[in-house]
Amino acid sequence: MSTTRPLSRDAVAEVDVSGQFDEVLALPEHLRDAFWRVESANLRPHDSPGGLIIAGVGGAAAGGALARAALADVASRPIALARDYALPPWTTPDTTVLCASYGGNTEETLAAYEAAQALGANTIVVTTGGKLAEQARADGVPVVPLPGGFESRAAIGYFLVVALEVARLCGTGESMRAEVDVAAEHAARLAADWGPEASEESLAKTLARGLHGTIPQIAGAAITAPVAYRWKTQINENAKAPAFYARLPELDHNELVGWDGASDFGVFSAVFLDDSDLHPRVRQRIELTRGLIASRGGATFRIESTGQTRLQRLISLILLGDLVSLYLATLRGVDPGPAAAAESLRSALSGG
């Protein structure tokens, strides 16, 4: 598809049969509704000297990674991610394990749940149902119920807030409710600025056109690193296109060298996610690295987060990346909803 294709509401509706734009633009409502979901589970405060482990993959894990980034300066205990079948070997009964799976049938998360139960760790589940909810209720484990009806990656706001609230309840982090409310208002304003009704010259649409037809490498550092990974996975799943993730300053010690031969393999681009809290030397690296990549023929983009608080800025980049991935899907003429390859693999693993 041409980059001149309009990205208006009517244009995206022709492609977005599954309604992914509406779910992404509903992020502010998801953030607010998530608190009610946590309250409905009647979770009790408890002390977990061993910290918090968030077990999940995909969008469920992304919410945990963002919560860890949001709490980086105030977390009093470790927050770890388990994106596999097993929990970290240091997990003990005084650790809280949040098992997150949208549909409740993710085999990695089910295995992590069983490991947490075997250890006697304080366990909490967040899901819409499935085997995970069934087993948790049979074991007397609290379940935070999520609304059904959309792709799990669109539940990022729910997974983020649930992880923040569980961190508070287990003594790992402080309350972020006020910050979430402010961030939701900020996201609503940005949704109007970047959504389908916005100008064709809006940031999200302009960036999507700049990335269309390229294989992007999304780079972040510290607070923006988990967001960069989210951008990469959203381009993969929504635009059905390859994209890669890198982290500064590490990429300057290896991946940067690979740009010497990039033009021999295809058309690549680089996006750097910046934030006012990044180390000054990392911010300097962004500009220097951009210059080196551009001199080798790669298109580069530097995107800075917006907002006063850390959480506002994180959510601004999440919303922007989600919309860019959907606009890329529109430019490619593909419905962003279905994830056929992932479904085929799950079916093969289950013997279907």
Question: Residue 235 is part of a domain; what is its CATH number?
Answer: 3.40.50.10490
Q: What percent of the chain has pLDDT over 70?
A: 99
Averaged pLDDT, 13-40: 95
Q: Nearest 5°: phi and psi at 102?
A: -60, -55
203 and 170 both lie in a single domain: no
111 and 143 both lie in a single domain: yes
39 and 158 both lie in a single domain: yes
* pLDDT grade for 234, boundaries at 50, 70 and 90: very high
Res 258: pLDDT: 95
Domain of residue 263, residue span: 9-16+199-332
Interacting residues of 298 by C-beta distance below 8 A, sequence separation 6+: 259, 262, 268, 269, 270
Q: Considering just the CA atoms, what is the radius of gyration of the chain in Å?
A: 20
Phi-psi region of 42 (alpha: psi -120 to 50; beta: other; left: phi over 0): left
Quote the tokens at residue 221.
């550092």
Res 3: pLDDT: 63
Read off the pLDDT of residues 280-317 as tens digits, 9 standing for 90 and up: 999 999 999 999 999 988 899 999 999 999 999 999 99
Closest CA to 159 of 50, 224, 70: 70
How confident is the prediction for the chain on average, in pLDDT?
94
**Do the domain assignments include residue 344?**
no
Torsion sign across C-alpha atoms 165, 137, 113, 318: negative
Cα–Cα distance measured from residue 82 to residue 116, given in angstroms and rounded to the nearest whole number:
11
297 and 245 both lie in a single domain: yes
- CB count within 10 Å of CB 24 equals 28
Res 74: pLDDT: 87
Interacting residues of 345 by C-beta distance below 8 A, sequence separation 6+: none
Number of domains in the chain: 2
Averaged pLDDT, 99-119: 97
**Do the domain assignments include residue 204?**
yes
28 and 102 both lie in a single domain: yes
Q: Given a cut of 80, is residue 1 above it in pLDDT? A: no
Cα–Cα distance measured from residue 238 to residue 24, given in angstroms and rounded to the nearest whole number:
11
72 and 104 both lie in a single domain: yes
Q: Nearest 5°: phi and psi at 62?
A: -60, -40
Instruction: HSE, CB side, 13 Å, CA atoms: give it for residue 244.
Output: 11
Q: Taking a C-beta distance cutoff of 8 angstroms, is the pair 132, 108 a contact?
A: no
Res 280: pLDDT: 97
Q: Could you give the maximum distance between any two Cα atoms of the chain, in Å? A: 60
**Do the domain assignments include residue 187?**
no
Quote the tokens at residue 246.
């890198």
**Do the domain assignments include residue 309?**
yes
**Do the domain assignments include residue 343?**
no
Which of the 8 DSSP states describes residue 146? P
Read off the pLDDT of residues 31-51 as tens digits, 9 standing for 90 and up: 999 999 999 999 999 999 999
Quote the tokens at residue 227.
């967001």
Q: How many residues are recorded in the chain?
A: 352
* pLDDT grade for 2, boundaries at 50, 70 and 90: low
**Do the domain assignments include residue 348?**
no
203-213 burial, b for 16+ CB within 10 Å, e for fewer?
A: bbbbbbbbbbb
Phi-psi region of 142 (alpha: psi -120 to 50; beta: other; left: phi over 0): beta
**Do the domain assignments include residue 242?**
yes
Which residue matches tokens 């990429």?
A: 251
Averaged pLDDT, 146-162: 95
71 and 146 both lie in a single domain: yes
Instruction: HSE, CB side, 13 Å, CA atoms: give it for residue 164.
Output: 27
Cα–Cα distance measured from residue 34 to residue 183, given in angstroms and rounded to the nearest whole number:
14
326 and 283 both lie in a single domain: yes
Res 321: pLDDT: 98
168 and 205 both lie in a single domain: no
